[in-house]
Every structure is written in C-alpha cells, then in structure tokens.
Structure 1
Amino acid sequence: MLIQSIFALSLLAAPQDAPAAAPTLTPEGQAIETAIQAYAGKNNDERREVVVSQLRAQGFAPELAPFEGGNPRTGPRAGANVVITIGEGAKDIVLTGHFDAVPLADGTMSQGVIDNAGSVVALIEIAGLVKEQVEQTPGPFRYVFVFTDQEELGLIGARKWLEAQDKTRIAAVVNMDVNGYGETLMYGENVGEHSAFVLRAMRTQCAEMAFDCVAFPMYPPSDDRVFSAAGVPVISIGSQDAVGAHQMWLAFNGGQSNGLAEGFVPPVFQRIHSAQDTTEWVEGDDVLRTARFIADLALRLARDE
C-alpha cells in the first residue's frame, strides 16, 4: 500500500498514453506474465487461492495463518496470510509482499497487478531460487516467505503475523511492493538505524550487480512500517522505469521546488489503486530480473548478518 494522499492530485494529471508495444519476451518472462495475469479480476479470497496454488505448483507446502482483521470502515473481516519456510536455523530472513488488492469507487476490484501481484509472483520465483541454493549449501538461516493479507486495509496482515513471532529470530526483512515493470529499483532509507546493515547490503548489491537503484530518504509506506516500528531490520523495494523512479523521488523528496510541473503525478500513482492497474503494463523479464536481484540480496543478508 503506497501513500494515498497523492492520489488527489491525479485529477489534475493528463490522461496516460497507451503502453508501448512490448518487446519479445523470453520464455521465462512469458511464464512470469502468465502467472501475474492469474490474479487479475479476482477478489482477495480468490487471490489468496492463486498464491497457494502457484506455490504448490512449485513444490512448496504453503500454510495459512488466519487472523481477525478489518478496520472501522469495513468492520470485522477475517483474513489469512500465506507462509512458506525454507531451510533451518536459529535466525530468519523474512521476505514479504501483500497479495490483496483494493476495491474501486464503483465497487469493482482493482486488478492489483503492479500493486501487488507482480511482487507476489516475484517472491514465488525468489523462493525457488533460494531453495536451490539452500539445498546445495545449507546455512544457519531459515528463509520465511510471508504473503500478507489486508495490507490495503492498514498493514493488518503483516502486523498480525509479526505479533505471533519471536522477533529476536528475525535478522532482516525484505518487503516488495509495487513491482511489475522497469529496470530501476527504488528503496526507502527511512527504516530506522537498526536497518543500517540491510541498507548497506542493498547499496553493495546494486553496485556489484550494476543495477540502477534509487534511494529515497522518504519512501511511501508499506508493510515495512510494521517491522520498522517494532525495531526489526527491514527494507522495502519497488521497481519501475528510470524516468518514473526519479519523478517519484522528486514528488516525495524534492520539496515545493521539486521541478515537477504543477499538478503532475508520477505515472505509477495514476495506475495503482485505479482501473489502470492492469496486466498491459507488466514486463515479465523485468520482474524476473528483479526477482533474481532480491534472491541474491536475501542470501547476502544471511552472510552479512
């Protein structure tokens, strides 16, 4: 869930052009796009079922972690996170991303593709990569993947999951929110001093892998806020095209003289939480590239911690 106050500006924004013709996909990228498309047009309970089905198809045994959620607007509402665990050890590297989407003003559901099915599918790909590595070289860490529910209602699923955990086990958390296209990675530095080693690992990873990474002194909130508030080391990562990432940086960190035209809204904010959050924006090879980066980051965090 990215910050919502900026959406009021979207009424002033010019209509978006149609997406450019997609380049030829690799077979792996096409598989990623197909997996993301499975979430479009479904309610949140159905989206959870897709998560479970896709995890099982990859050989995992997902567990449901039910909770009582909802907020004053919705009233009480049952939810359930989906969790898988890879490896054994006394410490955990946690990777998270929410699977729920938002209802739109007309009562229909957002397709929730960029926000956040792209991240969910990336996490499933990451789980497979991490599993391969752990099977080859077992280490002292577990890798816990938490697909959270009711993030869009106020980060509820992440909070409920963390409340049930021994926080001293958690070495680091990587949260993924708003992923689906673009080769530029964005991450927030406003995650507390306790997250310094996670940020250092991210910067090193960006340099060594020659990724275009943009650090945000102020980054929009997501499930990372739950972990940061609890003193758990965390980083939140999103992706988009280079121009969009820098426009978003200016919108959040550039102040009143940010150089953006009056009323301008970065394209990603015109898409998410709207009827524009559709599969036509997805670039499967970009999602795959991001997944491979974050899999390596998770393994690096285990080494660095």
Structure 2
Amino acid sequence: MRLFRIFGALPWLLALSAAPALADNPAAGSWQQQVAAVSAGRDSLSRGHAITARLDALGIQWRREAFERDGKRGSNLLADLGGPAGAPLLLIGAHYDKVEIGHGATDNASGVAAVLELAAALKARPLTAHRVQVAFWDLEEHGLLGSHAWVETPDRERPALYVNFDVFGWGDTLWMMSPNADTPLIRSLREAASAQQLGFAPGERYPPTDHLAFLNSGWPAVSFSLVGGDEIDAILAVFGGQNPPVAPKVMQVIHSARDTIAEIDAVHIGKALTVVERGLRDWDSANR
C-alpha cells in the first residue's frame, strides 16, 4: 500500500505483539497458509514463486508479463480462470511486491492470499456471465508501476470491473473504496456483511493503491481492505492532514519491521471472503 510517505514519518512507537489468531473456517485457514508462504519471500521473485506454486496446485494456468516503466523493471503475474466465451472480463488483483523492511505480510501478502482464495472458489464454481482473470502486480510500492503498465498496454481489454485487495490482514470491518456511494454491488455486500455480522464501510476516500491505475484511465474499479472499524476514521484523518491521538494499527505495522505474520489475525477472514464472493456472484448475475 502506498502509505509510506504518510505513515512513515508519524512519531508513534506503540507496541502490538500477538501471535496469528486461529482461522475461523477452511478458507481462512488456507488464506493464512498463503500469507505465510508469500511473506516468507524477501523479494518479488521469491514471493512470485509462492503465488505460482499455489496456482499450479489449483490447476490454474498462469503467465508472467514483464514490463519496464519509469526506469524500473518488474513482472506482473496473470491467470485466467475461464468463463463463458466472449463474456465481459472481471479482473481481480493485488500487488505482491513489498518495501525492503519487514516481511510484507499485511502489505500485501494478505491481499494476495485473498485473491488466491477467490481464485480457488471461482474456479470451482465459475461465474455465469463473466470471464475471470486474476492479477498480481509488481512494483506497487514504487508508484503503482505494475498496474499502470498493464492498463497502458496497447489494445488491452477493458474489464467490466477491476476488484483490488490491499491490506487485508485483520479487523472486523470490510472497508471498500467505491467512487459511487450506492450501487447494486454495495447493496449486495451490505446485505451479505449483515448476514455474516461483519462490519462494512464503503466510501470514496481510501488510501492510494492499484485501483487508481484503473480509475485514472476511466475504467471501473473498487478496492477492499480488512481493518478494524475503529481504525478508518483515524486513517482518513491522517489523509486530511490531522494527527489522531492514537495511531491505528495499520500505521504502526506496514512499511516497518513489524510487518510479519505475527500481526496477522484470521478471525474474520472467512466472513470477509464469503461476503466479497457473495457480492461478486450477485454482481455477475445482475450484469448478464
């Protein structure tokens, strides 16, 4: 997540230490395993190997797309999950690179693992009105370079929707960036979150990450984070130039030596993944 310049200078040294909480269902347990596998990699190459190993295990074919942008070289990973021939494209993605310090567990092995779990679910039971592709972006931490390179490739197919995941590692609230306050997707997600007793907070104000590469090109996009509901106002306060009296956990963890698997909390992950999958399936059915 592109928050270092905002968060890195904040003078907060509060300590939070906890072992990863136990997952609440099989999907969450698998998610936790993938967070551990990806965050064990100290660079994009080794983190990418963890991703492709999981895709191979799921029987999903993948490809590597090398790019060069702003004098830097990277590789995006793409995989097609199938769907009706000629149908519009649903693209789901997360960045897999990390800053030099820490293990990048929260930022953003957690988002990568969420995409991998959705890939498994959508391969097992495909959507009926959309083809699905998953993407893992490189060099997000250097200015969203991977996602920008993908969007700017000539003759690139415009997705019907891009769904991004960044910082999806703990908390009781599904935080959604949406440029529109009330859409069928938001209404479906709200209903699903209520059924799961999970907080849901949609809104336009949200930290900068790969969804911006799509929105800035006029392509539809949303983004999801899983955080504590009591963190959101403080995060947004920082973006408004204020210093909240207590630093939200996310500001203490990402882009620091503390961004390890120890800070991951899987208690609500199963609920969050269920809510997003339900919302996307409803969206698919409503957009035949």
TM-score of the aligned structures, taking structure 2 as reference length: 0.87
Q: 1:126·1:292 contact (CA, 8 Å) conserved in 2?
A: no
Match of 2:213 in 1: 226
Q: 1:48·1:82 contact (CA, 8 Å) conserved in 2?
A: no
Q: 2:103·2:260 contact (CA, 8 Å) conserved in 1?
A: yes
Q: Which runs of 5+ in 1 are unaligned?
A: 105-109
Q: 2:8·2:255 contact (CA, 8 Å) conserved in 1?
A: no
Letter in 1 for 2:264: V
Match of 2:120 in 1: 128
1:76 aligns with one of 72, 75, 82: 72
Match of 2:185 in 1: 201
Count residues in correspondence: 282
RMSD of Structure 2 on Structure 1 (CA): 2.5
**CA deviation string 1:41-86 (max 9, x = no partner):** 42111111111001111121111122124x4xxx432423333332
Q: Which runs of 5+ in 2 are unaligned?
A: none
**CA deviation string 1:173-192 (max 9, x = no partner):** 11110111112011224x4x
Residue 76 (structure 2) pairs with residue 94 (structure 1): no
Q: Cα gap change, 1:23/1:60 in structure 2, threshold over 3 Å: closer, same or farther? A: closer
Match of 1:50 in 2: 50
Q: Cα gap change, 1:126/1:21 in structure 2, threshold over 3 Å: closer, same or farther? A: closer
Q: Cα gap change, 1:5/1:204 in structure 2, threshold over 3 Å: closer, same or farther? A: same
TM-score of the aligned structures, taking structure 1 as reference length: 0.82
Match of 1:107 in 2: none
**CA deviation string 1:147-193 (max 9, x = no partner):** 1111111111111212236566411111110111112011224x4xx
Distance in 1 (alpha carbons) for counterparts of 2:20 and 2:169: 16
Letter in 1 for 2:105: V
Distance in 2 (alpha carbons) for counterparts of 1:52 and 1:21: 24
Distance in 2 (alpha carbons) for counterparts of 1:126 and 1:238: 15
Partner secondary structure for residue 202 of structure 1: helix
Residue 206 (structure 2) pairs with residue 215 (structure 1): no
Equivalence map 1:117-266=2 (5 Å): 117-134=109-126, 139-164=128-153, 166=155, 169-189=158-178, 191=179, 199-210=183-194, 211-252=198-239, 256=242, 260-261=244-245, 264-266=246-248
Distance in 1 (alpha carbons) for counterparts of 2:90 and 2:79: 13
Q: 1:150·1:157 contact (CA, 8 Å) conserved in 2?
A: yes
User: Post-superposition shift, 1:275?
Assistant: 0.8
Distance in 1 (alpha carbons) for counterparts of 2:37 and 2:157: 36
Q: 1:149·1:157 contact (CA, 8 Å) conserved in 2?
A: yes
Distance in 2 (alpha carbons) for counterparts of 1:153 and 1:169: 24
User: Post-superposition shift, 1:122?
Assistant: 1.1
Match of 1:116 in 2: 108
Q: 1:97·1:175 contact (CA, 8 Å) conserved in 2?
A: yes
User: Post-superposition shift, 1:40?
Assistant: 2.4
Q: 1:92·1:172 contact (CA, 8 Å) conserved in 2?
A: yes
Distance in 2 (alpha carbons) for counterparts of 1:124 and 1:165: 27
Q: Cα gap change, 1:78/1:129 in structure 2, threshold over 3 Å: closer, same or farther? A: closer
Normalized per residue, the structure richer in helix is 1
Distance in 1 (alpha carbons) for counterparts of 2:258 and 2:131: 38
Q: 1:90·1:169 contact (CA, 8 Å) conserved in 2?
A: no
Distance in 2 (alpha carbons) for counterparts of 1:95 and 1:24: 23
User: Post-superposition shift, 1:250?
Assistant: 3.8
Q: Cα gap change, 1:78/1:209 in structure 2, threshold over 3 Å: closer, same or farther? A: closer
Q: Cα gap change, 1:80/1:169 in structure 2, threshold over 3 Å: closer, same or farther? A: closer
Partner secondary structure for residue 238 of structure 1: strand
Q: Cα gap change, 1:23/1:148 in structure 2, threshold over 3 Å: closer, same or farther? A: closer
**CA deviation string 1:239-268 (max 9, x = no partner):** 112222343244335x65x8x32xx43220
